[in-house]
Amino acid sequence: MNRFCQLFLILFCVTYSAAAQAQQLLGTYKDWVLMEHKNTEDGDLCYIGSKPFDSRGTFGKRSDPLILVTSRSQYVDEVSVTSGYRYAQDQAGVSIDGRNFSMFTEEETAWAPTSKQDTQMIAAMKKGSQLILLGTSQKDTKSEDVFSLKGFSEAYNAMKVRCTN
C-alpha cells in the first residue's frame, strides 16, 4: 500500500505542480488516501482519492485516471473523476456495484450534477465493493476504469472527523 500512496502523491503533484507544495498526506486507508491542501482559494481543503486497479478501453495515451471526494464543508462533499483525457460533452458516468450515475464534464474532469447525487454516490460507495468509471473522449475513444472501494468508508469518516470545520 505504501507504493500506492507514493504513486498517488507523485501523480497529484505532477498534475498540480504549482499547488503541490501545499499538499499533505494525512492517512492511508487500504486503497484510498486522505490528503489536505492548505491555503486554496476556498481555504484549506481535504479530499480522499484512489487510482484504478484495472483499466480497459480504446484509448491511446492518457493521464492517470483518478477519483476524488472533496470535503467542501460539514454538509457538502463533492465527487469528481478524471479518465485522463478531455471528455466528450457529458460523456462520463460511474457504476457502483451496478447502480449507475451520469456526470457532467468540463475538459478532463466530471462531477455529479447535484449535491443530492453526490450524497447518493457517497452512500453507495460506503456500501459498495467497486466503482467503474466509464468515459468517452473528444476523440471518441472509450475507457473503463475499475476502482476498489476497500477502505473508502474509513477514509471518508477520517476526512469528516479531521477536516470538517
* CATH code assigned at 122: 2.60.40.1880
**pLDDT of 116 over the 60 cut:** yes
Closest CA to 120 of 152, 96, 150: 96
**pLDDT of 89 over the 50 cut:** yes
HSE of 60, CA atoms in CB hemisphere, 13 A = 3
Once rounded to an integer, what is the mean pLDDT over residues 112-123?
Answer: 96
CA distance 25 to 135: 28
Which of the pair, 73 or 142, is modelled with greater confidence? Answer: 142
With 0-12 / 13-18 / 19 or more C-beta atoms within 10 angstroms meaning exposed / middle / buried, residue 18 is: exposed
Range in 9-13, 52-56, 147-151, 155-159 with the lowest mean pLDDT: 9-13
DSSP for residue 76: -
Model pTM?
Answer: 0.84
CA distance 134 to 117: 17
- Domain count across the chain: 1
- Burial code of 110-146, b = ≥16 C-beta within 10 A, e = fewer? bbbeeeeebebbbebbeebebbbbbbbbeeebebbbe
**pLDDT of 113 over the 80 cut:** yes
Once rounded to an integer, what is the mean pLDDT over residues 83-93?
Answer: 92
Range of the domain at 121: 2-163
> What percent of the chain is predicted at pLDDT more than 70?
84
Range in 9-18, 29-38, 78-87, 123-132 with the lowest mean pLDDT: 9-18
CA distance 50 to 34: 9
